[in-house]
Chain A
Amino acid sequence: MITQLAGFNDAVHDAQSTFRALLEALARPGIPQSTVSLTPPAGLDISCAAACLTLLDLETVVWLQPGFSGDVRPWLVFHTGCRFTDNPKAANFALLGDLGSSPKLSDFCWGTAEYPEAATSLLIQLPGLTGGKPVTLRGPGILNEIEVMLPLDTRFWQQWESVTADYPLGLDCWYFSQNQVVGLPRTARANFGEAAP
């Protein structure tokens, strides 16, 4: 099946500005960035679709969470030419739409001591970027501390704590909703209220 949807309206400049937004998101954890607009396939948010077009290419291996609509895979293949894998450990990028049924964070590749950058980058789509329990983030790129209200459960933040404990190994995440993106790099330490401050 071939997709019926176009990609970026202006391939070069839209990809550049989206890349900048994604960089800013990781450089300033917790601060929402806006991405360009485009017509995403059913089931993908605008910002998530823009990030996929920007980051994925012929050489990247993607783990796509089962449960995304059938339009997403052909659209990604047509516009990026990326390859898919069933093994989360083998993926360069993982596309998640439902954290409730996703594998544990420890199931993805954390990189190796020699190549920590080989870790899987998680592209996580959320229903919104606010409305969850307040969590305080600290770390590089954050002045003192910043409070985020991402709709993530305590189980996720507990996993996040173990992910960030093994720095420089770890995972980098982007959270997408509509045309907004928030970054959570592996350097961000979360205080979600239950651990010792």
Chain B
Amino acid sequence: MSTLAKAPLPLLEQCVETLEHLPEYGLLRAPEIGLAMVRGRAEGTGPPFNLGEITITRCVVQLGEFSGFGYVAGRSKRHAELAALCDGLLQHPDWQDRVQAQVIIPLQTAAQEKRNTEAAEVESTRVNFFTMLRGEG
């Protein structure tokens, strides 16, 4: 779900296109845009506080007996629908393996590559801070 939600939309479209002859599906909940409060904790352990609101688009599709859920950040209704569709297909025994191979794996690979590139770019400007130890006494 996280892979689908975080994937860039053009890449997700591309991957879904490779799945040919998609089954018919209905919209149980048409894509809708709303707000959710993001909460945080100072240093990860402090008391929770409201960090701010985030725009969220959600969608639920119905594929036969399966319901696929899609929650994505932002206002892209298409993204939410595709994410929900893939989630539904992943529950479908006939589609599971194909979606895993043609959508999830490529998206994960792309995300990993992006992370590696960014890490490498940041790495070149790394500054190491040393704590100066004071002399005793």
Contacts and interface: CB of A to CB of B under 8 A. Distances in A.
A4 B67 CA distance: 8
A16 B26 CA distance: 23
Interface string A1-43: 0111111000100000000000000000000000000000000
Interface of A: 2-7, 11, 78-79
A11 B74 CA distance: 21
B27 A6 contact: yes
B29 A7 contact: yes
B26 A6 contact: yes
Contacts of B29: 6-7, 78-79
A79 B60 CA distance: 11
Interface in B4-36: 26-30, 32
A48 B28 CA distance: 19
B30 A11 contact: yes
Q: Which 7 A-B pairs have the closest CB atoms?
A: A2-B67, A6-B28, A4-B62, A11-B30, A6-B26, A6-B27, A7-B29
A102 B45 CA distance: 50
Contacts of A6: 26-29, 62
A67 to B, nearest CB: 26
Nearest to A5: B28
A4 B28 contact: yes
A7 B29 CA distance: 7
Nearest to B26: A6
With most chain B CB atoms within 10 A of its CB, the pick from A4, A11, A78 is: A4
